[in-house]
Structures are given as C-alpha cells and as structure tokens.
Amino acid sequence: MAWAASRDIVNGTSATTFSPNSPITREQLAVIFYRYAQDQGWDVSAWTDLGLYQDAAQVSDYATQALAWACGAGLITGTTDTTLSPRGSATRAQVAVILTRFCETVMPDGPVSHQEMVRNLQNSSLRKRDTLAAMAQVLLDDGFAPAFVAGLLGNIIEEGDCGRFESSAYLSNPDAEPDYLVYMDENYDYRDKYSYRLIYEGISLQEVYAMVLELGPAGANGRGSCFGLGCMQWTSYNRIKRLLENYLEAADGADTITLAQVQEAEGITISYELRNTHKKVYTDWQTANPEQDTEEAAYDAGVKVCTSYGIPVGYNTPEVQEKRGGNAAQVYAVMLGES
C-alpha cells in the first residue's frame, strides 16, 4: 500500500483513511490499472465513449478518463449491453479476467493471448493453416501448453487434413500400399468411394461407421488397422471408432457433416486422447520441459508427439522426428507472432 501510494497509483478514500478492507469498485479498479500503466510509460491512448452506457452519469469524476481507457482497451466491459455498473464491486473472477487482459493487451512484453495465437495461425503461410487454427483453438481452450500444442500441429502438417480419408492410390508403387488398404480396396471399393476424399463432402457418416464396426477390433489386416481418417490419420479400430462417434455427435442427428463440425469433432478427439488414453504423452513432455514457453520445448513436443502419439508407421526415423520437431518450432514462432 505504501509503495502504491508513493507512486500515486492508490490514494486514500479520504484525507485520513485508506479503507484497505473495503470491497473495490469497478471504477476504482480501472483507475489503479490506468495509473499503473501511466507509471510504467505504457500506451493509454485507447478510449471509449462512456455515454454509450445508461449509467454513465454514475461514474465519479476522478475515474472518468481511466474508465474510458479501460473500456477502450477491452479490460472492462459492461455488466450488460447498456450498463457499466461503475460503483459496483468487482468480483475476484472479474479481477482475474481484467488482469489477464491487462497483461495480454497493455504490457508491451506481455504474453500473447490464445485468441491472438489462433489468429496468427489463420493469417500465416503455413500449410493446412485452417486445420492448424481449428485444432489450436480447441487444445488451447482445454488448457494444453501452447508449445505442446505447436508440437501437435507440427505433426498435423505432415499427416492429414480434417475429414480427409487416407489415400490408397499407390499406382506407381503398388507394393508400398499397406496391407489394410489393399484389403479395403478389394472388399469395400475403398479407392473409388473414399480414398483421399473429404468426409464432409456429402459422404454418409452412418455408412462409414457401419464399415468400421463390420471390420471390428481385428481391423482390415488382423492387427487392428482400418484406414486413416482426419488430421491425425486415425487408423486403429478403437480410435477411428471414437472419431466417427464424435463426428456423429457433432452432426447432431444428420447423416452428413460440415467442415466446422468435423473440426470440432477432431479437436475433441485429440483432447480426449491426450487427457485419457495417451495422457503420458503430455505429462512426460511437461516433466521433461519445466520451461514450457520456449521453441526448444516446442521442438521436443513435436518429437514426443511423433514418437508416442502420432506415430508415422514404418518411417519413424530420426530424420522424420527432426522434420516434425522443426515444424513444431516454426509453428510456435508463428503462434507468438515472431515469424
């Protein structure tokens, strides 16, 4: 309190009292942040017309400029579309939100917000940027560290698109076609009906789901492989079955699905696996990377996902791992707006 008073960031509630145990009002909070930003020499030029709110007349004279700035900077919003409640008490949750916004938008070296990370991906020149942005949105919202999310995205770049069926077009080198795709081509007309197509382009969800159920846990090759589908090219029976069930739920009773619904379902699938069946992929990465906000941690996440989650069957070589780790470091730089 003495420090804040010495910097003119906090003044008394009267000439002789500080009232340290009284609830803080929303306008008082705006004043504190405004004065602190001024004290640090940061930009306080943002501004909003408080007259847009019906209770603007309740704003104290000393707080008018600060509150107009706080609203203009996006730190404080109305309690409704037409009321600001300047003398209402700020809750602990509201203060946490305002502090986060202050760090992200006012502090010059503050952290990049998750929404800005997603926008940076959308505006980038990265391959599959729409898929990357959609997956990042879900995983960041679910609390995964940004550098780890970058590791996953670095693998998606080399895997598939949301809703994309695995290609079985090994025409120039048929011996390279995996045995499960050979079986699918011969028994389900896979190459003509599904190969490399997008499930959200009118393909029946029920038809694909029934095909997976018919293949069963043994898959198309007796070892559980069915066919690849989606941004992580889910192949094994249990995982692709869960993916399709998430598609069906996202489609909400329809037999076809939209791209937005596909992205939602695939994000949910990845998040579920990283919190349940493949939880150790994330927790082991966290243990190995106590500093989780570096490009090195993102690189390590790209390798970790490659070796323990999105395993590229048959070619998981050091060169592949280096490629995906490098992708992850690049994606992380893009997310932070550094590339």
Give residue 113's pLDDT: 80
Give residue 315's pLDDT: 66
Does this model's pTM top 0.75? no
Give residue 314's pLDDT: 64
Percentage of residues in the chain having pLDDT higher than 90:
77
Q: Does the pLDDT at position 248 exceed 80?
A: yes
Query: Which residue type does 77 have?
Result: T
**Can you count the helices (H) and strands (E) in the chain?**
15, 2
Over residues 40-49, the mean pLDDT reads 89
Confidence band of 105 (pLDDT split at 50, 70, 90): confident
Give residue 76's pLDDT: 92
Mean pLDDT of the chain: 93
Q: What is the pLDDT of residues 46-69, one digit of tens each?
A: 899 999 999 999 999 999 999 999
Task: Copy the structure tokens of residue 246.
Answer: 């998430």
CA angle (21, 23, 26) in 5-degree steps: 140
Confidence band of 313 (pLDDT split at 50, 70, 90): low
Question: Is the CB of residue 333 less than 8 Å from the CB of residue 153?
Answer: no
Question: Is the CB of residue 228 less than 8 Å from the CB of residue 251?
Answer: no
When comparing pLDDT for 315 and 89, which is higher?
A: 89
Task: Copy the structure tokens of residue 202.
Answer: 């009118």
Q: What does each C-alpha distance from 163 to 55, 136, 198, 212, 243 come to in angstroms? A: 50, 16, 5, 15, 10
CA 214 and chain centroid, separation:
34
Over residues 169-179, the mean pLDDT reads 90
Whose CA is closest to 305, among 166, 173, 158, 193? 158
Give residue 157's pLDDT: 95
Residue 51 carries which DSSP code? Answer: G
Q: What does each C-alpha distance from 300 to 46, 146, 241, 272 come to in angstroms? A: 40, 13, 29, 21
Confidence band of 111 (pLDDT split at 50, 70, 90): confident
Whose CA is closest to 239, among 190, 272, 275, 200? 272
Over residues 309-338, the mean pLDDT reads 89
Q: Cα–Cα distance between 274 and 263 in angstroms, integer?
A: 17
Q: Does the pLDDT at position 250 exceed 90?
A: yes
Q: Does the pLDDT at position 222 exceed 90?
A: yes
Give residue 60's pLDDT: 94
Confidence band of 274 (pLDDT split at 50, 70, 90): very high
In the 3-class helix/strand/coil scheme, how is 60-90 assigned residue by residue?
A: CHHHHHHHHHHHHCCCCCCCCCCCCCCCCEC
Give residue 289's pLDDT: 96
Sequential DSSP letters for 20-38: TTSPPBHHHHHHHHHHHHH
Q: Does the pLDDT at position 107 exceed 90?
A: no
Over residues 207-218, the mean pLDDT reads 98
Would you call 78 exposed, middle or buried from its count of C-beta atoms within 10 A (0-12, 13-18, 19+)? middle
Residues β-bridged to residue 165: 229
Q: Does the pLDDT at position 114 exceed 90?
A: no
Q: Does the pLDDT at position 86 exceed 90?
A: yes
Q: What is the pLDDT of residues 120-163, one digit of tens each?
A: 999 999 999 999 999 999 999 899 999 999 999 999 999 889 99
Percentage of residues in the chain having pLDDT higher than 70:
99
